[in-house]
Amino acid sequence: MPIRFPICSRPRILSRARLRNVPPEGALTISDAVARIIMRNYMLHESLRMRIVNFHALAEKILSEIEELTGSPAKPETVVVAIKRFSDKLGTKTAEAVDVLKDSKLSLLGSVTDITILGKSGSTMKIVEDVLKLSQKFSVTPSLFQLPHSVKVLADEDDAEPIKNELSRNYSIHVREKTAMISVRLSPSAEKIPGIAALITELLYRNGISLLDVFYGYEDLLLLVEQRFGPRVYEILSKEITT
């Protein structure tokens, strides 16, 4: 039976939820965009950890993706600095990052459909509005992320059907099924502490789990993994928080 969540310290069933006017993820900072790219690429993560990657070459390679995530032009040298900062945190377990993680709360949605709705620049707000019009059909509040040229929707697999059926009439959509989403609600002090994303990535990779994607909300870090790994990720992070 799928686990549905509100934002809370442990998963529980949510009977009925109205979709609130979810604020968009908005453009990421360059540092957040770099972390997102590295966290969902195991080989890149390991290469950085082993210090066998040329930062400048990597910056050039991911520059277009950085610009897509941030919504603005980026200088390669600025991306290099962000890569180096993330790399410096790999393999380390700073006391500050651990303390912040211990103050976080976890929740798990065990049966998620990842829907990417493609749009043109300036049209993504219309996509968000079209999703919001379906709110009466949702049993669990989905997570929406508005990027410069697309909108990501992470929905319970049952709630994904009306989204796919309705929006595929007017937009090109990509669907990834059988995933799980773990929400890590961090304390407000997390913004001032570097290394949290690297710490979480290390914990999961060390246990043989690769991230499919990662999303930054205003208060939450959302981790998307294969459905079979959802409970295991929840267990790993719970252990880190409670020990």
pLDDT at 25 over 60: no
pLDDT at 17 over 80: no
Amino acid at 184: V
pLDDT at 235 over 80: yes
| pLDDT for res 172 | 94
Percent of the chain with pLDDT over 90: 40
Which residues are paired to 156 by β-bridges?
A: 112
For residue 192, the 8-state DSSP code is: G
Model-level pTM greater than 0.75?
A: no
In a 13 Å sphere around the CA of 51, the CA atoms on its Cβ side amount to 4
Element (H, E) at 79: helix 76-89
Cβ-contact 113, 89 below 8 angstroms: no
Give pLDDT tens digits for 104-145.
Answer: 889 999 999 999 999 876 788 899 999 999 988 998 889 888
DSSP of 225-242, one letter per residue?
Answer: EEGGGHHHHHHHHHHHHH
| pLDDT for res 187 | 74
Cβ-contact 68, 74 below 8 angstroms: no
Q: In what order do the strands lie in the sheet with 150-156?
A: 143-146, 150-156, 105-118, 172-185, 220-226, 213-216
Give pLDDT tens digits for 95-109.
Answer: 666 676 777 889 999
Between 46 and 214, the higher pLDDT residue: 214
117: tokens are 């709705």
- C-alpha 24/C-alpha 85 separation (Å) is 26
Cβ-contact 204, 210 below 8 angstroms: yes
pLDDT at 12 over 60: no
Element (H, E) at 159: helix 157-167
Q: Mean pLDDT lowest for which of 46-50, 100-104, 204-208? A: 100-104
Q: Mean pLDDT lowest for which of 82-91, 153-162, 187-196? A: 187-196
| pLDDT for res 147 | 82
Name the average pLDDT for the chain. Answer: 80
| pLDDT for res 16 | 30
| pLDDT for res 154 | 94
| pLDDT for res 116 | 95
pLDDT at 2 over 60: no
CA 226, chain centre distance (Å)? 13
- C-alpha 220/C-alpha 223 separation (Å) is 10
Considering only CA atoms, which of 180, 173, 133, 181 is closest in space to residue 150? 173
- C-alpha 89/C-alpha 197 separation (Å) is 9
- C-alpha 186/C-alpha 174 separation (Å) is 30
Confidence class of residue 66 from pLDDT cuts 50, 70 and 90? very high
236: tokens are 């790993």
